[in-house]
Amino acid sequence: MNSPSATELSSTQSAPLEVLVVEDEQDLAETVLETLEVASKGAIHAVWARNLGNGLKHLSEHPVSLVLLDLNLPDSEGLNGLALICRQNPDVPVVVLTSQNDEQLGLEAVHSGAQDYLVKGTVDALLLVRSIRYAVERNRLLAEIRRLSLVDQLTGVYNRRGFITIAEQQLRLARRMKKSVALLFIDIDNMKKINDGLGHKQGDVAIHDAARLLRASCRETDIIGRIGGDEFVAQLISNNGPVGTDTVLERLRTKLYEHNKEQKRPFLLELSMGVARYNPEYPCSMEDLMLQADSLMYEQKRARKQKEQSKKEPSIQDMLA
């Protein structure tokens, strides 16, 4: 689930924060639900689950902004419930409730992933609402920090760290599920000429254009990353049958041609491409697959340069004419 935005924290918002209260004591749960509704002036809407099992079921079926979790439930004691919720819904913040003699457990819960802990019997309405709002906002900020650490700021695709992190997970899944995987490696040609002749601002334009064309050529399920200054990769996964790399490559070449024809940049955007295919019968790491695709891409780049060079050099017949 996407983390709630900052606008959701306003008491004047149209859509309230959805809070799941997992608590086995009915009287306490009803008090918490009423307190949240009244004290937040409708900015928080709470629902109740009597035990962890019902709570996990609700989380699997409904979007939730935060879970308010009692650490001592009929079907869960201590940190087990917190661990299960964090595993099933890692993007949902959790505030735990402890009894007065379990405050140390609350601290351990925070170290284990909870945003905050509250001690039963010591919490007033203002503190309860404030804790929930702060927990949601902290979680949103942390999610944004994690996102920025994995995303290339210039292009909006994954950076090298982000790509390898996500792509390795998908590769492990493909290995288990016997899915077809291909890796597309792309390098922008003549970047040094663009930077030296037109300036680094135009170089950034070329990089941005290449990322945009690659995104437009791939499916939403494909994983795209910028792993170097002018180098991009795309992990293509197929659920059924072979990966449609030929379709992606043809689409990319068409869009590249249209781009150069329509955009009228002060440079021609040219791309070299290489494709490596993953065989689940002979597993390898994402880094190894990238090296294979990189090598194939450079073969294409060398062949293109040799072809261009041969056009420039006069033949023996030309020299004797």
With a cut of 50, list the residues of the chain below it in pLDDT: 1-13, 241, 319-320
Element (H, E) at 86: helix 80-88
pLDDT at 5: 32
CB contact set of 133 (below 8 Å; sequence gap of 6+): 9, 17
72 bridge partner residues: 77
pLDDT at 307: 78
Burial environment of residue 67 by CB neighbours within 10 A (0 to 12, 13 to 18, 19 or more): buried
CB–CB of 3/139 below 8 Å?
yes
The pTM for the full model equals 0.60
pLDDT at 14: 56
pLDDT at 300: 86
pLDDT at 143: 84
pLDDT at 205: 96
pLDDT at 313: 61
Write out the two tokens for 208: 């941005």
CB–CB of 243/235 below 8 Å?
no
CB–CB of 188/260 below 8 Å?
no
C-alpha to C-alpha distance for 40 and 253, rounded to whole angstroms: 55
| Domains observed in the chain | 6-148 (3.40.50.2300), 160-311 (3.30.70.270)
pLDDT at 310: 74
CB–CB of 280/242 below 8 Å?
no
pLDDT at 73: 93
